[in-house]
Amino acid sequence: LWERLLRVIDKHKVQFQWIRGHAGHAENERCDRLAVAAASAPNLPEDNRS
């Protein structure tokens, strides 16, 4: 995952910003819901559930 990320950011202008988790930030809350849903997916390999 990190190798793919590093290859992609070399081609684009990217800015990372730390956002406090579970603090009511709308986009972060959406990402959390998506991550929980994905981790609960029945076809996800066992080693990707943590």
Contact 19, 28 (CB under 8 A): yes
Contact 38, 44 (CB under 8 A): yes
pTM: 0.50
**What are the extents of the domains in the chain?**
19-50
pLDDT digits (tens, 9 = 90+) for 2-50: 898 888 898 888 888 888 887 888 999 999 999 999 888 887 666 555 5
Q: 3-state class of 8 per DSSP?
A: helix
